[in-house]
Amino acid sequence: MRLVIQLAVVAAIALAGSTLVNAVAWNPPLTLILGLGTAAAAPAG
């Protein structure tokens, strides 16, 4: 059960990060920063 909860948290972080990155797709540096932030936050979740 713990694995399922961890996977759900990582999926939620990835979905939020993906949404943020798509929202600022017009700004490449900000897209990079948000993408790196999402990648760093997913394992921590």
Instruction: List the chain domain ranges.
Output: 2-36
Q: Are 33 and 17 in contact (CB under 8 A)?
A: no
For residue 19, give Cα distances in angstroms to 13, 22, 33, 37: 10, 5, 14, 13
* pLDDT for the residue 39: 86
Q: Tens digits of per-residue pLDDT, 1-45?
A: 999 999 999 999 989 989 989 999 899 999 999 989 888 887 876
pTM for the full model?
0.76
* pLDDT for the residue 38: 87
* pLDDT for the residue 23: 92
Q: Are 37 and 21 in contact (CB under 8 A)?
A: no
d(CA 11, CA 20): 14
